[in-house]
């Protein structure tokens, strides 16, 4: 693959924050390589923004190897693929849900980052953005599978900042609160009513609000490292406290 434009890889770009980020980075002049499992949606976005759609399942090491093959000039990696499954208390934990959350959020970030770090460093101006969550700093009842995965993903990401110190690569962690995407629909196995309840009576962030923050970090001068961006709706004070109208 060759491109005149610098390459930005966005995982989980078939919907939500990843899709919005792919659009924003393309507008900033990047050739965006979009990865996710739903190829039709991925291809539609890629065609619109002059990017490249590639199948990616971050829970599968072979898929990551095929996806990351031949990405010369890759400058930016956005580790965004992931999410939550279920809301069971620890005493009723579903191990399959836990396994998926750890595979997608934690090991997915490890696999992509490990595969692309040499190219990012070689570019002379690399950047790894990892979308964790306020769940990487907070906990809540029923959320242990997700919050433990996001805490671990965050620890992995922040470790890299020290390990790569002195190399030409930046690290930014983005920690959103409530964003209205397909996140809750996935978490509640397609239950639209339950998903809608999450955002009822408040104004959540949009995917584009988060993409805007990611793009801000990426477009700072090369010597400026935005370490963390925490963004929440004005109506949300914490993972467990929100103001709802009506
Ligand atoms: P979303 O609309 O459900 O998007 C999730 C994306 O991840 C989709 O493109 C999905 O694509 C992809 N994905 C899931 N499993 C994957 C896998 N195994 N391999 C490759 N791609 C995979 O939700 P979102 O809100 O934009 O979530 C993006 C990130 O933000 C997640 O890491 C989430 O934890 C985090 N976050 C979300 C919120 C929120 O309130 N929405 C808040 C804080 C943090 P395919 O299904 O096509 O593979």
Q: What are 52-62's pLDDT values in tens digits?
A: 999 999 999 99
Query: Is residue 236 in a domain?
Result: no
Query: Is residue 125 in a domain?
Result: yes
Which residues are CB-contacts of 171 (< 8 A; sequence separation ≥ 6)?
A: 127, 128, 129, 130, 157, 158, 160, 161, 164, 225, 227
96, pLDDT greater than 80: yes
Query: Is residue 1 in a domain?
Result: no
Domain count, the chain: 1
**How far apart are alpha carbons 8 and 160 in whole angstroms?**
19
Query: Is residue 69 in a domain?
Result: yes
Q: What is the mean pLDDT of residues 177-198?
A: 98
- The range of the structural domain enclosing residue 115 comes to 7-231
Query: Is residue 34 in a domain?
Result: yes
**Ligand 1 — pocket residues by CB below 6 A?**
11-18, 36-38, 56-59, 80-83, 104-105, 131, 133, 176, 178-179, 181-183, 186, 207
Put simply, whether the predicted model's pTM sits higher than 0.85 gets the answer yes
Active-site residue, from 98, 146, 171, 199: 146
Query: Is residue 13 in a domain?
Result: yes
Query: Is residue 45 in a domain?
Result: yes
* Predicted confidence band of residue 70 (pLDDT cuts 50, 70, 90): confident
Give yes or no: 146 in active site.
yes
Q: pLDDT per residue over 142-182, tens digit each?
A: 999 999 999 999 999 999 999 999 999 999 999 999 999 99
CATH assignment at residue 131: 3.40.50.720
């Amino acid at each position: 693959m060759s491109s005149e434009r610098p390459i930005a890889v966005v995982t989980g770009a078939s919907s939500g924050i990843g899709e919005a980020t792919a659009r924003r980075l393309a507008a900033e002049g990047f050739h965006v390589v979009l990865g996710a499992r739903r190829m039709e949606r991925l291809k539609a976005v890629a065609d619109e923004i002059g990017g490249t759609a590639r199948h990616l399942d971050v829970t599968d090491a072979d898929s990551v190897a095929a996806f990351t093959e031949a990405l010369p000039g890759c400058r930016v990696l956005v580790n965004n693929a992931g999410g939550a499954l279920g809301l069971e208390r620890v005493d009723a934990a579903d191990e399959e849900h836990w396994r998926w959350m750890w595979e997608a959020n934690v090991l997915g970030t490890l696999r992509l980052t490990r595969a692309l770090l040499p190219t990012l460093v070689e570019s002379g101006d690399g950047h790894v953005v990892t979308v964790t969550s306020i769940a990487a700093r907070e906990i809540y009842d029923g959320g242990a599978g997700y919050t433990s995965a996001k805490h671990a993903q965050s620890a992995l990401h922040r470790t890299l900042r020290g390990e790569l110190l002195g190399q030409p690569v930046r690290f930014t962690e983005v920690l959103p609160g409530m964003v209205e995407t397909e996140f809750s629909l996935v978490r509640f196995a397609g239950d639209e009513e339950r998903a809608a309840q999450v955002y009822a009576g408040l104004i959540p962030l949009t995917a584009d609000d988060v993409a805007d923050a990611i793009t801000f970090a990426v477009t700072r001068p090369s010597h400026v490292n935005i370490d963390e961006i925490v963004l929440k709706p004005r109506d949300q004070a914490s993972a467990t406290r929100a103001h709802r109208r009506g």
